[in-house]
Amino acid sequence: MKIALTTIIFFSLIVLVISCSSPDTATTKKDPISFSAQLGGWYAVDTTASFIQIRVTLKNNTADTQAYVNMLCSWRDCYTTNDENNFYLLRDSLCFLNAPAIYKIPPMKSSTDFLTIKTTIPFKDWDKASFRIGFNLIMQDTARKLFSYADELRAMKNITWSDSLALKEFDHFSK
Pick the range with the lowest mean pLDDT from 1-10, 29-38, 57-66, 157-166. 1-10
pLDDT of residue 155: 92
- Per-residue pLDDT reduced to its tens digit, 7-29: 444 444 333 333 333 333 333 34
With bands split at pLDDT 50, 70 and 90, how would you rate the model's confidence at 74? confident
Predicted TM-score (pTM) of this structure: 0.76
The CATH code that applies to domain 32-167 is: 2.60.40.10
pLDDT of residue 73: 86
Report the share of the chain in percent with pLDDT over 70. 79
pLDDT of residue 61: 96
- 81 closest CA partner among 134, 32, 125: 134
CA distances, 46 to each of 11, 119, 155 (Å): 70, 12, 34
Instruction: For the chain, give percent helix, strand, coil, nearest 5.
Output: 30, 35, 35
Pick the range with the lowest mean pLDDT from 50-54, 87-91, 96-100. 96-100
- Per-residue pLDDT reduced to its tens digit, 101-147: 999 999 999 999 999 999 999 888 988 999 999 999 999 999 999 98
Structural contact between residues 87 and 167, judged by C-beta atoms closer than 8 angstroms: no
- 34 closest CA partner among 67, 64, 61: 61
Sorted by where each begins, the domain ranges of the chain are 32-167
